[in-house]
Amino acid sequence: MSIPLFEAHGLSFRYPGRPAVALPGLRVAAGDILGLAGPNGTGKSTLLRILAFLYPPAEGELRFDGRSVTSEAQRARLRRQVTLLPQEPRLLSRSVWHNVTYGLRVRGDKQNIDERAAEALDMVGLEPSRFLSRSWRQLSGGEAQRVALAARLVLRPRALILDEPTASLDAASAERIRQAALAARQERGTTLIIASHDLRWLDTVSDHVLHMGDYPE
């Protein structure tokens, strides 16, 4: 059996005075889609931040690509390979171009930057010639979410982690987001981990769905 991209054993995380995640085990193969379901407050967002290497687990082991991840230096390096679209992403108070290219510019990865930004906008169904120069102020909620996703897609992460990416969006924007995520997996082999209350969608697209349980107070 090949080495999974993500593998975890006995992961737990606590906020002060409050357990948030207690997960016996997890395996996600490269190129797979893992769905994450569960009622509010069952630790989905917290688990996604652990898998995106933003939070260290309190206990347990998290392995990425066969290696145990134990240090902040490792997590910082892996954040270049794994990207989280949070539940309520914030845009920079700048143009769409600035937003979509931000991560590339921070990395000093500027080759063909305009073409890559245009390609990412195309993936989320926003016409680059209309949107690249547009201010963040001139975007609807659904357009802003699609720009935020384009800003992650442009980085071509090995794994893209989406936290309720279609919550409170109009139907057309939600469909564009779903299509763009699936296109990343199909065209680039991007591994997807998606938390959503849209169980029908998760069941349709996911290779596995993990149901998060309730944790005692």
Ligand X SMILES: Nc1ncnc2c1ncn2[C@@H]1O[C@H](COP(=O)(O)OP(=O)(O)OP(=O)(O)O)[C@@H](O)[C@H]1O
Which long-range contacts does 74-78 make (Cβ < 8 Å, 24+ apart)? 78/53
Distance in Å, CB of 195 to ligand X, minimum: 6
Task: Name the segment binding ligand X (CB under 6 A); options: 15-23, 53-61, 120-128, 152-160.
Answer: 15-23
By CB under 6 A, is residue 166 in contact with ligand X? no
Nearest to 59 by CA among 13, 95, 117: 13
Distance in Å, CB of 43 to ligand X, minimum: 4
CA distance 196 to 180: 16
Residue 123 or 202: the one with the smaller Cβ distance to ligand X is 202
By CB under 6 A, is residue 20 in contact with ligand X? yes
DSSP H or E segment with residue 184? helix 171-188
φ/ψ of 195, rounded to 5, equals: -95, 130
By CB under 6 A, is residue 139 in contact with ligand X? no
Q: What residues between 174 and 213 interact with ligand X by CB under 6 A?
A: none
Distance in Å, CB of 64 to ligand X, minimum: 20
Q: What residues between 32 and 91 interact with ligand X by CB under 6 A?
A: 38, 40-46
CA distance 91 to 98: 9
Q: Are strands 67-68 and 59-64 parallel, antiparallel or unpaired?
A: antiparallel
Distance in Å, CB of 39 to ligand X, minimum: 7
Which residues make up the interface to ligand X (CB under 6 A)?
A: 15, 18, 20, 38, 40-46
